[in-house]
Structure 1
């Protein structure tokens, strides 16, 4: 039962992505100038795909626990994120002034893969460091 609670951040992240995807093109155009005050280099919201799916990848890795530190866990993480990205793109086909874009799905996959690779790297570094502390020499 305790492992199921680890999926709450995944659900929250998916709901946040769904919420932003539900915004029409007009609504996003009114938000962009406000965001540009903090990030003047941002010309549109396309880079946010990397950020959103990086966060989703981290929450999926958290839900996976130690399995996230394996290549199998990494692949499952990316698969879950890409499948959610597919549903997100399909959902956008029903939102006014929005449309599905295969390039967005690629950005989603890159963000999720980056999160998964970061988790793999951190686990490997932690395991290497702890194994060095116990070597006899």
Structure 2
């Protein structure tokens, strides 16, 4: 009986540890969202010169939430292959995106922008769609063990 309890607790602990990358990435997003408009304006022009095609689309939000969806998928594990779980991943990313936009509204030179939320959702949805492609899914599951 005690051996089963220990094994069960160990399994739960390992499952929780798999969500650490998602929590860490959410922290990165939070820190980046805390940057003022002036701080961002020193980085964005340089970035846009390197990638001029990125002018009309906020790729930072897209990439950030693509990675967030990837880390949440990793935390969930093989169950994330189910279509409902993919919807949950996109929903969780969207909810975090809403809190991110709300947080930005309190930072100087930043504002709540529905287009940023759109880009968050596009990044998360594209990530979950790519992971659903069978050859990519096999590689991802193998790497995420």
Shorter-chain TM-score above 0.5 = yes
* Contact in 2 for aligned 1:61/1:119 (Cα 8 Å): no
Alignment root-mean-square deviation, CA: 1.9
Say whether 1:104 aligns with 2:111: no
- Provide, for residues 22-43 of structure 1, a one-character-per-residue CA deviation record: whole Å limited to 9, x for no partner: 1111100111233345434443
TM-score scaled by structure 1?
Answer: 0.83
CA distance in 1, matches of 2:105, 2:95: 16
Aligned residues: 126
CA drift of 1:45 comes to: 7.2
More helix by share: 2
1:30 counterpart SS class: helix
- Unaligned 5+ residue runs, structure 1? 127-137
TM-score (structure 2 length as normaliser): 0.79
Q: Which residue of 1 aligns with 2:141?
A: none
* Ranges in structure 2 where 5+ consecutive residues have no aligned partner: 1-12, 139-145
Distance (whole Å) between structure 2 residues aligned to residue 115 and residue 107 of structure 1: 12
Structure-2 residue corresponding to 1:10: 22
- How far has the Cα of 1:97 moved from its partner? 0.8
